[in-house]
Structures are given as structure tokens and as C-alpha cells.
């Protein structure tokens, strides 16, 4: 019941300065509704064990650690992250992840949760790329994943709605779409090879279909605790893993190509509620 502890925490700390009442919905309830809506999609229902474990998702502990990190003054500038603008104004976390990636005028770039977080850790807290706080991108014990899990959890149940008003947002999404269908590498794979049919499997793993937004929303709901890794993972990490299977070379964390892919995949889940933190195989 880490979740309950997490929800009690803000009150205990009495720091609800910027956030209004939580509009986040419990991920297990969001998932349950999606399962009903899809008439038991084989992808959504493939692991009854994970579904049962959702209320006790180990990711909640990671989110809890993230909340403390978020609110604690840190770094050379001894500042907290409470003034970080994730697109809905400084300090507004509710629903922010559901509207990423988006264009940020202060950097002139389209950024996802990962890259925006790093941006704030640099500008507000004074961390540099060589600081462990920024350098370590993966694993439940990394600051980046703790913070992402906390911030992401504030969008649970919120429909994905990445803005497409700025021409750059649209350009990145459209290029990501081309990349999704672009075949290359030793095995001729594109993302579409594995993610455009209903209920197909690679070995025992049921694949989510990008054309079924009610399925796809769970696919792109990161951070998620991966039971096979025993770590919370990010969107960036999932991109990396699929590219590895595809025999593609390494992609850089937060690179424009990774953000284009994430822009397309988030748009494909538009209107469906985020399930964060999720629990995956």
C-alpha cells in the first residue's frame, strides 16, 4: 500500500503550494476501465499477476523518493524543482506528463519528460551532464527515474493530449511517424512490423497495436516498473530496447530522433487515459 503512503505525504509535508487537489486516478482503476472498454484486449490482460500487483506497484516507492527529491533544495544552486515548468506553468505537475512531448519556447525545442527534467536540473539546480544526478539515466535508484515516476504519476487517468499547435510539434510527430514505418537493419524491421496488428505475439509476449489507442495508451505509459528487470523504466528506455531488438545502433537519450518517435507514439494514444506508474512484464 505504498500508494496510500504517497498520497498522505503531501499533507504530511504541508507543501501543497502549487498543486491543486490531485486529479490523478489510481492506475489500476484506469487499466480496469480500459480492459472493459476493449472487451479484454489480449495485450492489456496478458498478465493477471501484474494486474493484481498494480495497487502494490513497487514504482510507488520510487515515486515517493522522487517527491522528496523534487521538493528538496539540491545542486550547486541549492534549489528545488518546484519552479520547473513542464509546459503547464512553473510547478504545475497535474496532467503535465500527459501533454508531453511539447514545444518549449525557452529552448526552442520539443522536449519529453526526460529531457525537460534534465533541462530544469541544469538551469534551476545547476547540475551538469557529469553530475551523477543527471548522468545516471536508468534504474529505480537513479534520481532521474525517481523524479520521472513522481511527475508521471500526476497524470494517471489524464487523457494523453500532446499539443500540436506549434509547427515544430507537428514536424516532430510527422517525422516520428515516418520513422515508425521505416524499415532497416539486419532483420528489415520497422516498428510497424510488430505493432500494427491485433493480439499478435513475439514468442509469449503479446504486442500492443498502435491502431488501438485503448491498448496503445498502456504501451506508452511510462514510467513503469518492469517485473523482468526489477526496475522502473522510462519511455526513453523502451525506445532503446525496441531498437536493440531491431538490430539498430545505440540512440542517445533525449536525442531528437527519440523525441520524434515518442511524439508520434504519444499522439497515437491521444484521448486515452495514461496509466502511470504502470507495471509491465
Partner 1 sequence: MFKKTSTAAAVAAATSLLLITGGCSATNAGKTEAAKPAPAAAAPAAAAAAPKAKSVDYTAMSPKALAEYLIFESGSYELDQPTQEGTTGRARLTQDEIQKACSLMKGEEVSDKAREKVMALAAASIKYPEGGIKLGDWKKGRELAWSGFGYRTAHNPDDHSSREAGGNCYNCHQLATDRTGGDIGPSLTGYGKNRGSSPDMLKYTYEVIYNPHVYFACTNMPRMGATGVLNQQQIADIMAYLFDPASPVNK
Residues forming the active site: 242
| Minimum gap (Å) between residue 49 Cβ and ligand HEC | 13
Binding string, residues 240-279; x marks residues near partner 1 by CB under 8 A:
x--xxx-xxxxxx--xxxx-x-------------------
Helix (H, G, I), strand (E, B) or coil at 79: strand
Query: What DSSP designation does 86 have?
Result: S
By the rule CB under 6 A, 261 interacts with ligand HEC: yes
Residue-wise DSSP of 105-162: TTTTEEE-HHHHHHHHHHHTT---TTSHHHH--SSTTSHHHHHHHHHHHTTBTPBP--
Identify what 185 binds: partner 1, ligand HEC, none; CB under 5 to 8 Å per kind. Answer: partner 1
In the list 62, 220, 232, 240, the residue contacting ligand HEC (rule: CB under 6 A) is 220
By the rule CB under 6 A, 219 interacts with ligand HEC: yes
By the rule CB under 8 A, 164 interacts with partner 1: no
Helix (H, G, I), strand (E, B) or coil at 260: helix
> What contacts 190, CB < 8 A, 6 or more positions away?
180, 181, 182, 183, 184, 246
By the rule CB under 6 A, 18 interacts with ligand HEC: no
Q: Considering only residues 166-205, where is the footprint of ligand HEC by CB under 6 A?
A: 189, 191, 193-195, 202, 205
If one counts every other C-beta atom within 10 angstroms of the C-beta of residue 202, the result is 10
Binding string, residues 188-207; x marks residues near partner 1 by CB under 8 A:
xxx-xxx-xx--xxxxxx--
| Minimum gap (Å) between residue 170 Cβ and partner 1 | 8
By the rule CB under 6 A, 212 interacts with ligand HEC: no
Q: Considering only residues 208-237, where is the footprint of partner 1 by CB under 8 A?
A: 211
CA-to-CA dists, residue 11 to 5, 25, 33, 78, 81, angstroms: 10, 18, 29, 24, 18
| Minimum gap (Å) between residue 82 Cβ and partner 1 | 25
By the rule CB under 6 A, 280 interacts with ligand HEC: yes
By the rule CB under 6 A, 206 interacts with ligand HEC: yes
Contact 145, 235 (CB under 8 A): no
CA–CA separation, 202 and 218 (whole Å) = 18
Residue-wise DSSP of 5-55: HHHHHHHHHT--SS--S-----HHHHHHHHHHHTTS-TTTTS-HHHHHHGG
Contact 178, 231 (CB under 8 A): no
Which residue ranges make up the site for ligand HEC (CB under 6 A)?
Answer: 189, 191, 193-195, 202, 205-208, 219-220, 238, 242-243, 245-246, 261, 265, 280-281
Which residue ranges make up the site for partner 1 (CB under 8 A)?
Answer: 105, 108-110, 166-168, 170-172, 174-179, 181-190, 192-194, 196-197, 200-205, 211, 240, 243-245, 247-252, 255-258, 260
Amino acid at each position: 500500500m505504498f500508494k496510500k503512503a504517497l498520497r498522505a505525504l503531501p499533507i504530511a509535508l504541508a507543501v501543497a503550494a502549487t498543486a491543486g487537489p490531485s486529479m490523478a486516478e489510481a492506475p489500476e482503476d484506469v487499466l480496469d476501465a480500459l480492459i472493459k472498454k476493449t472487451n479484454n484486449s489480449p495485450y492489456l490482460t496478458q498478465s493477471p499477476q501484474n494486474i493484481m500487483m498494480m495497487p502494490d506497484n513497487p514504482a510507488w516507492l520510487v515515486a515517493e523518493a522522487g517527491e522528496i527529491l523534487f521538493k528538496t533544495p539540491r545542486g550547486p544552486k541549492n534549489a528545488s524543482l518546484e519552479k520547473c515548468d513542464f509546459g503547464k506553468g512553473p510547478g504545475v505537475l497535474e496532467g503535465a506528463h500527459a501533454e508531453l512531448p511539447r514545444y518549449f519556447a525557452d529552448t526552442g525545442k520539443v522536449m519529453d519528460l526526460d529531457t525537460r527534467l534534465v533541462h530544469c536540473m541544469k538551469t534551476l539546480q545547476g547540475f551538469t551532464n557529469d553530475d551523477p544526478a543527471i548522468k545516471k539515466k536508468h534504474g529505480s535508484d537513479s534520481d532521474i527515474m525517481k523524479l520521472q515516476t513522481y511527475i508521471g504519476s500526476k497524470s494517471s487517468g489524464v487523457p494523453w493530449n500532446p499539443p500540436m499547435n506549434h509547427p515544430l510539434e507537428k514536424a516532430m510527430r510527422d517525422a516520428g511517424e515516418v520513422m515508425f514505418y521505416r524499415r532497416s537493419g539486419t532483420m528489415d524491421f520497422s516498428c510497424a512490423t510488430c505493432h500494427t496488428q491485433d493480439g499478435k505475439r513475439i514468442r509469449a509476449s503479446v504486442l500492443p497495436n498502435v491502431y488501438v489507442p485503448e491498448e496503445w495508451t498502456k504501451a506508452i505509459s511510462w514510467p513503469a516498473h518492469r517485473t523482468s528487470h526489477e526496475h522502473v523504466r522510462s519511455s526513453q528506455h523502451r525506445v532503446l530496447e525496441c531498437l536493440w531488438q531491431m538490430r539498430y545502433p545505440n540512440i542517445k537519450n533525449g536525442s531528437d530522433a527519440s523525441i520524434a518517435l515518442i511524439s508520434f507514439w504519444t499522439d497515437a494514444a491521444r484521448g486515452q487515459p495514461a496509466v502511470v506508474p504502470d507495471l509491465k512484464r
